[in-house]
Amino acid sequence: SGDDKKNIISEFKLDPEAELRFEIETKNEKVLLTLKSGSAEVFGTELVKGKTYEFTSGAKIAVFTWQGCIVELKGKTDVSYVAKETPMVLYMNCHAGLDQMRLNAEKNNTKGPMCMVVGPNDVGKSTVCRILLNYAVRMGRRPLYVDVDLGQGQISVPGTIGSILVERPALIDEGFPQEAPLVYHDGHKSPGDNPALYKKLLTQLGSTIKDRLEINKKTKMSGCIINTCGWIKGVGYKFILHTMEAFNVNVILVLDQERLYNELVRDSPRFVKVVFLPKSGGVVERSKGARGEYRDQRIREYFYGTPKNALYPHSFEVKFSDVKIFKIGAPALPDSCLPLGMKARDHLTKLVLITPNPGLLHHLLSVSFSEKDDDDMILSHCAGFICVTNVDVERQQLTVLSPQPKPLPNNLLLLSELQFMDSH
């Protein structure tokens, strides 16, 4: 019976440099992981011996050991096996190379490595970033994590790009703590939906980060790890080149794609080190549906937290007259109608004031930090996000879900294409 399955306990003895991989697919399933003896890590975060870690549906995990260990799984996994072949030694070598650059940077008071991880979807880019950040922080470094993947981003909500300072290893079952993230609103699931906007935001995030690195010496020498999206052909490749420029990237790790590796060797300046890395056999491919679910889950976590770390958002009403809601991108005008000096593609990053209407229902809105509602508003970062849960045209007010209580920190809001159905 189901109850029996929940109590299944399996023990795994891992040789040095092996990893236990497991996946939980079944909804509402819980699996508990405990390190019994030896030492082990999950994507670069060390497990504490005897402590129990909880994973839920959707988890795809590898428990890797350098020295060998015994671990126990309790509960029903859909997949679980031990793999002896992993690229972890190569990833560790990358970390060692980056750390050598940090030591040099410290000596010469220059910037540490600006390292970008690229490759197609589902090759473990985010996982490699996490491993490298964890190894860096375990050695006392304080790197920045930059994520420019709009659709599957790990900072704030989908439809944004941003950065966090990493001061502690990622939590095994929750990822990196997100204190004071630096977030820019794009509002789309894919950078191709508004390339002009996305490039502008990359440039803006790049220059803000440049300033931040100058302020903090420890972070400056620690450098950045930059995660990118899996779109690597055509326009996607242009975005990669733009990211390289915007962040002054000097190390590129290319996962799995030799063709992309060769293109980047050809197209990057001499001082950029381009390194090819194989993907791990454990990386699991995700369907389009699974990507959509991941986005929903990210937004849900933004408002409600995780089972272990619940958040309690607020719901309140906002008068139409108390806010200004903008959408980014005006309809294109023929060249002959454009004001002098304006380029035809400028309309893509223009702000358009919208009248609140039932079409806003379920949409995310970012709350801008901007003081003025001119076109530069898109270049200012966000205070946070709210979700429209009701539009009352008669009473001229919105109901919103917000992480913070009333009032909103600013009355300037930007509309996102992303939606969230609040089922609480």
> Which residues ranging from 94 to 123 are in contact with ligand ADP (CB under 6 A)?
121-123
User: Contact between 172 and ligand ADP (CB under 6 A)?
Assistant: no
Distance CA 181, CA 165 (A): 8
Distance CA 136, CA 100 (A): 11
Distance CA 25, CA 28 (A): 9
User: Contact between 380 and ligand ADP (CB under 6 A)?
Assistant: no
Contacts of 370 (CB under 8 A, 6+ apart): 376, 377, 380, 410, 412
What's 47's DSSP letter?
Answer: P
CA distances from 317 to 171, 314, 359, 387, 396 (A): 35, 10, 17, 12, 10
> Which residues ranging from 4 to 43 are in contact with ligand ADP (CB under 6 A)?
21
Structure tokens at 66: 């350098």
Q: Which is nearer to ligand ADP, 21 or 142 (CB)?
A: 21
User: Contact between 329 and ligand ADP (CB under 6 A)?
Assistant: no
User: Contact between 160 and ligand ADP (CB under 6 A)?
Assistant: no
User: Between β-strands 114-118 and 251-255, what pairing exists: parallel, antiparallel or unpaired?
Assistant: parallel
CB of 271 to ligand ADP, least distance (A): 26
Instruction: Considering only the stretches 30-38, 56-64, 245-253, 375-383, report the one whose residues sit in contact with ligand ADP under the rule CB under 6 A.
Output: 56-64
CB of 253 to ligand ADP, least distance (A): 12
End-to-end CA distance of the chain: 30
Q: Which is nearer to ligand ADP, 263 or 326 (CB)?
A: 263
| Chain mean position to CA 105 | 26
User: Contact between 257 and ligand ADP (CB under 6 A)?
Assistant: no
CB of 422 to ligand ADP, least distance (A): 25
Yes or no: say if 160 and 240 are a contact pair by the CB < 8 Å rule: no
CB of 81 to ligand ADP, least distance (A): 10
User: Contact between 158 and ligand ADP (CB under 6 A)?
Assistant: no
CB of 128 to ligand ADP, least distance (A): 7
The size of the chain, in residues, is 424
User: Contact between 124 and ligand ADP (CB under 6 A)?
Assistant: yes
Q: Using CB under 6 A, which of 38, 68, 192, 230 touches ligand ADP?
A: 230
User: Contact between 229 and ligand ADP (CB under 6 A)?
Assistant: no
CB of 228 to ligand ADP, least distance (A): 9
CB of 137 to ligand ADP, least distance (A): 18
User: Contact between 297 and ligand ADP (CB under 6 A)?
Assistant: no
The size of the interface with ligand ADP (CB under 6 A), counted in residues, is: 16
Q: Which is nearer to ligand ADP, 255 or 325 (CB)?
A: 255
Distance CA 253, CA 270 (A): 15
User: Contact between 126 and ligand ADP (CB under 6 A)?
Assistant: yes
User: Contact between 283 and ligand ADP (CB under 6 A)?
Assistant: yes
User: Contact between 225 and ligand ADP (CB under 6 A)?
Assistant: no
Give residue number: closest CB to ligand ADP: 282
Instruction: Identify the H or E element spanning 32.
Output: strand 30-38
CB of 22 to ligand ADP, least distance (A): 8
Instruction: Identify the H or E element spanning 52.
Output: strand 52-56
Q: Using CB under 6 A, which of 65, 127, 243, 366 touches ligand ADP?
A: 127
Residue-by-residue DSSP string for 383-415? EEEEEEEEEETTTTEEEEEESSPSSPS-SEEEE
Residue-by-residue DSSP string for 249-289? --EEEEES-HHHHHHHHHHS-TT-EEEEEPPPTTPPP--HH
> What is the gyration radius of the CA atoms in the chain, in angstroms?
23
Q: Which is nearer to ligand ADP, 126 or 163 (CB)?
A: 126
Q: Which is nearer to ligand ADP, 127 or 410 (CB)?
A: 127
Binding site for ligand ADP (CB under 6 A): 21, 60-62, 121-127, 230, 280, 282-284
